[in-house]
Amino acid sequence: MANDVAKLDLACTYMKSNKTISAYNLFMTLAENEMKKDDYSAGILLLLASECKAKQGKDRHDELLQAAKFYLEIAKKEKPTISKYAYLCAAKCFLRIGQYDGAMAAFEQAKKYTPIVVEEKKPIVVIDDSPAVTLKLNSYLKKLGYNDIHTFGDGQSAIESIKKLIQSSQNPIVLLDMELPDMSGDVIAKTLLKLKPELSIILITADEKTTPRVKSTIGWGSTAFVQKPFTINELKNAIDVTESGSLM
C-alpha cells in the first residue's frame, strides 16, 4: 500500500513536470493493479492516464473507454449509492469519446437508484445566428422548464456574456452552432473551455458528427451533439446527458 502511494505521488510529480510518458506508464500500472482488486480508484487512475495522453497531443479514446467499461462493472457490484455514482462516471467517460448512446444508457441506469433532483435550472446560452432556430430553441427550452435563456447571434458577444456568468459563479449550458458570422463554433468552444474546462457545451449544427471540426470540438470537451433539424426530445436527451456529466 505504501509503495502504491509513493508511485502515485511520483506519477503526479511527473505529470506536473510535463514528463507525461513516465506519468502515463505509472498511472496505467497502478490502474491495472487496482482493477484486479475491483477497487473504485482504478477509474480515477485511468482518467489521469488519459489526461497524460491528451497532454501529449494523442488520442485518449482507449483509456476513457476502458474507464467507462470499468465503472459499468463496478456499478453492477456495489451498493446503490456507489453504483449510481459509478454509472454517472461511466456516462462522463462515454461523453468524452463521443459515445452518446453509451452515455445515455449509463445515465438511465443511474436514475433507477435515486431520482436526481435539480432544485434550480441552469442558465442557457444559445449561440446561433438563425432567428428561426433561436425561436425554436427558446420555445423548446421553456417547455422543458428553462426560463433563464440568453440568446446571441455572434460569437464575441456570447463569449463576453458567458465570462460574466462564470465570474458570478453561474454554470450555464451553452447551445452552440458551428457557423457564426464572426467566428466558427469550434473556435468559440475552444475559447470557452479554456475559461472553464468543465463548461457544458451542446453542439447544435447541420454538420455531421463525423466532420473534422465537429470531431475536434467534441475532443476538446463538448458534452453532447444535436443535428439540425431536431426535435424537443433530442434536445432534452442532450441536456439530460450534459446534466449527468456535470454532476461529477
Phi first, then psi, for residue 227 (nearest 5°) are: -95, 135
Check whether residue 83 and residue 143 sit in a common domain: no
The grid coordinates of residue 232 equal: 424537443
Check whether residue 67 and residue 131 sit in a common domain: no
The interaxial angle of helices 61-77 and 41-55, nearest 10 deg, is 170
CA 13/CA 27 separation, integer angstroms: 12
The answer to whether 177 and 171 are in contact (CB under 8 A) is: no
Looking at 111, 143, 172, which one is the last position of a domain? Answer: 111
Residue type present at position 126: V
Residue type present at position 133: V
67 within a domain of the structure (yes/no): yes
Check whether residue 131 and residue 227 sit in a common domain: yes
CA 233/CA 236 separation, integer angstroms: 5
Q: CATH number for the domain including 94?
A: 1.25.40.10
Q: Work out the widest C-alpha separation in the chain, in whole angstroms.
A: 61
Check whether residue 76 and residue 153 sit in a common domain: no
Instruction: List, in order, residues 6 or more apart from 172 with CB less than 8 Å away.
Output: 122, 123, 124, 125, 150, 162, 165, 166, 199, 200
The grid coordinates of residue 215 equal: 470531431
**What single-letter DSSP state applies at residue 173?**
E
Check whether residue 148 and residue 105 sit in a common domain: no
Q: Which parts of the chain have pLDDT scores under 70? A: 1-2, 114-120, 209-210, 212-223, 244-248
pLDDT at 19: 92
- Cα torsion angle, 107, 111, 117, 121, sign: positive
Looking at 53, 80, 111, which one is the last position of a domain? Answer: 111
Q: Residue 22's domain spans which residues? A: 2-111
